[in-house]
Amino acid sequence: MKNISIIGDGGWGTTLAILLSGKGHNVTLWGAFSEYVETVKAKRVNAKFLPGVKIPQEVNITSSLNEAIDDNEMIVLAVPSQYMRSVLTRLTPYKLSGKIFVSVTKGIENKTLKRMSEIVHELLGSIEICVLSGPSIAHEVAQGSPTTLVASSRNLALAKEIQGIFITDRFRVYTNNDVIGVELGGSLKNVIAIAAGISDSLGFGTNAKAALLTRGVIEMARLGVAMKAKKDTFYGLSGLGDLTTTCISKYSRNHHLGEEIGKGKSLKEVLKETEMVVEGVATTESAHELAVKNKVEMPIISEIYKVLYENKDPKKGVHDLMTRSPREEGFY
């Protein structure tokens, strides 16, 4: 059994702490806000991010990085993408050699346009890191619903080690070595989920949803290939699988944000009403910039960028998508 720290006490970090503790690992769950951490520690429920789910007494809950880092062999990074750099900066004084890092965060940093593993290597050097991603709504995993993910590392032996640590009879883990594809798939699908939420809010039905998923995964793969990812990865768990879940789940924050935008609310209004981070908002900006940088056509993501950041009417965005010049279906 391993000593494992989860850095980030959101819904997903809390869920993984429960899962790993259930396998007999010694787990520490770290949160940044000491007052809230003490509340969770006392009540053994993360009411903000994973309501109704009991956290076992065996899980150590703390706001002390010393406690979370010093004696632990494996560090799971579960903080929101736009806070990853600031949290990792706080880890740089620690002795990290020999520790294994696992990133479960889905997003692309604004401005630098870096994936999470790239930020880890930039700040922490050549440490061992694996990415764990796929269709994984935290509430469903916490309730024991069968779930499948993929562990990805350029070091396939490490990916297999992480597979063994996380896998259960309800939490199946596959492996691959396409870190770029896995990270991009887990990030870009959130933008398409915002589009799906807008579509549902406007009452467009299942035909429109099918179109968004089908053409959306092609956009994701198109950018991925331009960035040296494998095309096939986007038709697997971290691409099509995660995209499907995020576009249809009632727990999807990105889909919910899209629904609210479709009702006529501004992005500022929706975010003000939302307690949790909606990763697709920041990712939309990064994805738009990556498309321009790599000269890749991504019409759905381009329209969502205009809706969120240029106040374009969603109905006009739909019209512009549907009236683009006719072409053959395929991977462009």
In a 3-state reduction of DSSP, which class is residue 313? coil
What distances in angstroms separate CA 288 from CA 78, 102, 111, 145, 283, one per listed residue?
A: 24, 27, 11, 34, 8
Alpha-carbon distance of 222 to 300, in angstroms, equals: 12
* Domain range for 95: 3-177
Name the domain boundary from 177, 212, 234.
177
The per-residue pLDDT for 256 is 96
| Spans in the chain with pLDDT lower than 50 | none
Catalytic residue among 111, 189, 230, 265: 189
pLDDT of residue 330: 75
Shared domain for 262 and 304, answered yes or no, is yes
272 is known as an active-site residue = no
Report how far residue 190's alpha carbon sits from residue 300's, in angstroms, rounded to the nearest whole number.
12
On whether both 42 and 184 belong to a single domain, the answer is no
Q: Which residues of 139-170 are buried (b: 16+ CB within 10 A; e: fewer)?
A: bbbbeeeebebbbbbeeeebbebbbebbbeee
- Distance between CA 256 and CA 263 in Å, rounded? 11
According to the model, what pLDDT value does residue 331 have? 65
Nearest to 120 by CA among 90, 84, 155: 84
Residues 156 and 205 in one domain: no
Instruction: State the chain's maximal CA–CA distance in angstroms.
Output: 60
Q: Both 184 and 73 in a single domain?
A: no
Whether 223 and 130 map to the same domain: the answer is no
pLDDT value for 276:
83
CATH number of the domain bearing residue 154? 3.40.50.720
**What CATH number is attached to the domain comprising 190?**
1.10.1040.10
Q: Using the 3D structure, point to which of 177, 194, 220 is the last residue of a domain.
A: 177
Q: Note whether residue 266 is domain-resident.
A: yes
Rounded Cα distance, 239 and 236, in Å? 5
213 and 74 co-located in one domain:
no
Q: Is residue 330 part of a domain?
A: no
Same domain for 67 and 170, yes or no, is yes
Statement to judge: residues 115 and 98 lie in one domain: yes
**CA-CA-CA-CA torsion for 134, 241, 138, 291, nearest 10 degrees?**
70
- pLDDT on residue 103: 98
Q: Which of 118, 143, 177 is the last residue of a domain?
A: 177
* 108 secondary structure, DSSP code: B
Q: Same structural domain for residues 118 and 232?
A: no
Same domain, 166 and 198: no
Q: Do 133 and 218 share a domain, yes or no?
A: no
Tens digit of each residue's pLDDT (9 = 90 or more) over 236-289: 999 999 999 999 998 999 999 999 999 999 999 999 988 888 999 999 999 999
Q: Are residues 216 and 307 in the same domain?
A: yes
Task: Tell me whether residue 328 is in a domain.
Answer: no
Domain count, the chain: 2
